Structure 1
């Protein structure tokens, strides 16, 4: 089982590397790791289990965050409209995105960052992601608002990018012109 002691923190080299593609079909070890990542996210959202195992709640986890430089990510969350997203993905890739930008009014957080980083993180309001699921199915998902933000955050990890890299250092709390809150999408 993955716990917080397995999560690498900012400053670790692996978080700044571009992760390697996973050769498909994935090995049983890679599948098991991705499944463990998904279970970690699910358990972290269960108040009782999170307390028992001393986990910070998360909605997504990328393999570099557990020290593995491979293009794998897991997400488990419900968006602002009540739709659930629960995936273990190999080689996720953004294949198209909107020009329109979006953001979370309260900023973003990260399991690999143990400090509060205030600031608006501009993201694409809509993205289309192609990936291979844990079950071996090739999928193409169209995402908007909060879901699009979560996926972009995790895919950034696969490219060595941290969420705070997107924050405007000169004016961190002002949303980009024309950007809309993810809550409104």
Structure 2
């Protein structure tokens, strides 16, 4: 389900009907780099995507429009094969923060890894998936923000997990591709890896 970003004007409200589900080839296709400087239609698409995340986390709005709660959304999840995604979640201090990334690239990462004990979820996956998804504990990302300014940021913990999940989407990778096929709860050998919540309590 490939779409033109002209559909996603600033006033357009994304609903679950717009979310591409697993099985669609769009989710298995590597997204194309976004043309810079950032075009108005791409900025508006990012604004729509961010508003969806905010709506999905608002109890009244999400109930009214039957939205699943999300903390990250990549462009190919709404049918746009463009290398951009948004995040709306709490930072280490508990404050809500929003990030829009265009042409993001992980330029360095930790050796240590973490995982969510309850596995990961995805707006494009309507079924429960069990198993550990190994992620780097921290990542440094380089890319552009919603205004087209170059940005370099470091993320750790839960935010790092979300960043890696969304960049995987842009590369046609689903989170469950990283779960051990033979034993979903087997962790990588020879590397320091722990549950996210163990890491938080240290």
TM interval, short-chain normalised: over 0.9
Please tell me the root mean square deviation across aligned C-alpha atoms, in Å.
1.3
Q: TM-score, normalised by structure 2?
A: 0.88
Structure 1 runs of 4+ aligned residues shifted over 6 Å read none
Q: Is the 8 A contact 1:103 1:175 kept in 2?
A: no
Instruction: Tell me if 1:31 matches 2:69.
Output: no
Q: Give the count of matched residue pairs.
A: 185
Q: Is the 8 A contact 1:72 1:88 kept in 2?
A: yes
Pick the aligned partner of 1:15 from 3, 27, 42. Answer: 27
**CA drift at 1:79:** 4.1
SS of aligned partner of 1:56: coil
Structure 2 gaps, min length 5: 1-12
Give the structure 2 partner of residue 154 of structure 1. Answer: 166
Q: TM-score, normalised by structure 1?
A: 0.96
**CA drift at 1:118:** 0.3
Give the structure 2 partner of residue 73 of structure 1. Answer: 85
Counterparts of 2:150 and 2:40 in 1: how far apart (Å)?
A: 18
Q: How does 1:118-133 map to 2 (within 5 A)?
A: 118-133=130-145
Max Rg structure: 2
Give the structure 1 partner of residue 3 of structure 2. Answer: none
Counterparts of 2:46 and 2:32 in 1: how far apart (Å)?
A: 15
